[in-house]
Structure 1
């Protein structure tokens, strides 16, 4: 068979498949990814819940987890502290300031209380043993010194009458036997002693010796703290203000400033007055109050007692002459009485009486030193050792209404 000839130059054509690029749809891809991610998230959440529920059944240690309860009160306090002061109203700010002041004075009072004790006079052994014995023979005491052997406490001595023994209760509520080491009858204060060998070390370690202040820095309206036994019961605490410091009381051989306050008191209250720095500025003595003010705390200013306290702490007797006098002021001078200390009274059976000093005399010198005020006279007497003789110069009205010089030789004694 003859082969069919193809025309020259003609090319054979074959079926050619053309692959067309498909256009990419980004929205469909994003939707698919989100759908996949959502399913994965749901699966993970369900797996976590299942694991958390089933863990206590498979993990024995999880049953021993410690349970704690949050201190809601503490959380509330922390939230309150986070509040900005600028948001407080004037009334709220005032209340906040009062609360801060109250906390501050309570802190001071708690420190001073470490110096305050309760002294009880025991009238017989049965009362010592009886726990139901009513504590009526009790006064406050102030720890003022500590030696290697004893703790020395300053307080009133009116409980000593008829007492066979004493006991002292410290701030830690521990009680020890005490003795009356030294005393004076003019003001009625003394020093009690507790043997340190009988005391627990914890009691000794918590003792604080207070700072004695100065009445010169005290003014009317000053804030004060009253502590001790001023209200008729133990561990009493009161706050108030100084109402007056102008009053002065005369005692034998001296005069003493009185601190008057607006703090209510028991009739026979005892204790101490402190300032806001924790310094003792007064010794409570309700016997100094006049009838209308006996219900308010009054006390001796501490400045006038420091020399006497120091002597008692050192077991030195307080000098005593027995003269009750007043200053001769310009007004009194106009009545013809010379300058000096006018003798109002002389104590019976006293060194002054034995030396011949009489009411109406005017004292001008003690031991060669001129004196023009009762406080100056008292300061000179405090320098003299009991048992020593001293010259006291003065003036006495003569027959012709004129004052003449007189000299007395006084053997200074003590009144205990």
Structure 2
């Protein structure tokens, strides 16, 4: 039994050995991965979405930058606030006569030639008259006087600029070209942030671009700060940060004079700018008249006439022998028989207007022609003191509110009115589109009756 078991074990072991030696056969399954076919529609859609998102993000970034850039710039570099422009009103002026200038020149020459200069004593009027009576004028004196006048004009010319209004147009062959209209302007103020230029904009209406050429030849683009519809005068501004320091140095505001002097007629006057219709021209003459007035809606200005023969398209300014501005050349109001004689509007009556325009204040429009109530009419006919209205402009705020010819305005808003000029000054303090209450006196069968009307200014 034992032997049989041993034989079985040996046989079993032999089978095990054979089974281990026999290689095991296994079947493998090969898998081939195929690439998914390209979907052109999906690729195009994804490309469009990606590009659109990039554009949207870019637009958001641009808008954010545009909105934040001024804020950040103002924080880092605060912009200087413009100063308020104020013109000092002169009530009286002693005009320098040619003889006075000649006397001053001779005194200066004597002082220079004196070996031991002493402090000059003040001359009395009688002494001046004596010197003048003993003086014999010759060619050299005339040349000296002419040179002195020329120097005054040249100094004032530093404040003059050329205003070029540029418009685009097309010819018959559809080729684009540019038109240029030129007027003379004058620097009137520097508010710390801008150079302000006064010019008559009537001849450059509708210009697409305004360029300012200074006395040194530098050119800059200007913007209209404010404009007056009555006179056509406007203030042009140039930001100083965009200007060269050398140009700022030469762009000095003109010295303001006065045209309210009753002795203005007969005094010498110098026209600079473009009195001959040519840039940088100078003419010398005499004031022939200053008693007439230019009547415009809501304003009355002094008209200054001269004996200077010029161009009907003249522009520029009138100055006295001190180099001070006394008038703005405007040939619009000349009569037909004197259309070539240089004339202008007095600066004293314009100062308040120029001041408002320089401070970017629009002028309120009522639309009336008026005058002061004469003293005799007030005392003998009991006409109330105020602004007497002799005409209302068609479709003006005054006409729409019911103001009529013959009415006397005694109050507008909170301001009492006793003269026409007070009404004009009150309008300077009001803003367009303001609603104000106007108190007026209207004549009836039983005399003047007080009325109240509401006016919406324009």
Same-fold call, TM cutoff 0.5: yes
For 1:381 and 1:307, the matched residues in 2 are separated by 11
Contact 2:168 2:179 in 1 (8 A): no
SS in 1 for 2:184: strand
Query: How far has the Cα of 1:196 moved from its partner?
Result: 3.1
Q: CA RMSD in A?
A: 2.8
For 1:103 and 1:311, the matched residues in 2 are separated by 37
Instruction: Identify the residue that residue 202 of structure 2 maps to in structure 1.
Output: 158
Instruction: Identify the residue that residue 38 of structure 1 maps to in structure 2.
Output: none
Query: How far has the Cα of 1:220 moved from its partner?
Result: 1.3
Contact 2:363 2:427 in 1 (8 A): no
Give the aligned length: 321
Contact 1:327 1:341 in 2 (8 A): yes
For 2:372 and 2:407, the matched residues in 1 are separated by 12
Query: How far has the Cα of 1:247 moved from its partner?
Result: 1.0
For 1:379 and 1:344, the matched residues in 2 are separated by 18
For 1:197 and 1:378, the matched residues in 2 are separated by 36
Instruction: Identify the residue that residue 298 of structure 2 maps to in structure 1.
Output: 253
Instruction: Identify the residue that residue 427 of structure 2 maps to in structure 1.
Output: 381
SS in 1 for 2:210: strand
Instruction: Identify the residue that residue 196 of structure 1 maps to in structure 2.
Output: 240
Query: How far has the Cα of 1:147 moved from its partner?
Result: 4.1
Query: How far has the Cα of 1:338 moved from its partner?
Result: 4.9
TM-score (norm 1): 0.70
Query: How far has the Cα of 1:288 moved from its partner?
Result: 1.9
Output aligned runs, 1:155-304, within 5 Å: 155-217=199-261, 219-304=264-349
For 1:297 and 1:372, the matched residues in 2 are separated by 35
Give the one of 359, 374, 378 matched to 1:329: 374
Query: How far has the Cα of 1:376 moved from its partner?
Result: 2.4
Contact 1:250 1:326 in 2 (8 A): no
Q: Which runs of 5+ in 2 are unaligned?
A: 1-112, 114-133
Q: Which runs of 5+ in 1 are unaligned?
A: 1-81, 83-89
Greater shift in the superposed pair: 361-370 or 214-223: 361-370
Output aligned runs, 1:67-216, within 5 Å: 93-124=137-168, 137-216=181-260
Contact 1:252 1:322 in 2 (8 A): yes
Is residue 380 of structure 2 the alignment partner of residue 353 of structure 1? no
Query: How far has the Cα of 1:204 moved from its partner?
Result: 2.0
For 2:322 and 2:226, the matched residues in 1 are separated by 30
Give the greater-gyration-radius structure (CA): 1
Instruction: Identify the residue that residue 317 of structure 1 maps to in structure 2.
Output: 362
For 1:264 and 1:93, the matched residues in 2 are separated by 27
SS in 1 for 2:286: strand
For 2:170 and 2:323, the matched residues in 1 are separated by 39
Cα separation, partners in 2 of 1:285 and 1:182, compared to 1, 3 Å: same
> 1:89-112 CA distances to partner (integer Å, 9 max, x unpaired)?
x99733222211111111111111
For 1:199 and 1:98, the matched residues in 2 are separated by 41
TM-score (norm 2): 0.64
SS in 2 for 1:227: strand
> 1:263-292 CA distances to partner (integer Å, 9 max, x unpaired)?
112112111011111110111111122222
Contact 2:285 2:307 in 1 (8 A): yes
Instruction: Identify the residue that residue 51 of structure 1 maps to in structure 2.
Output: none
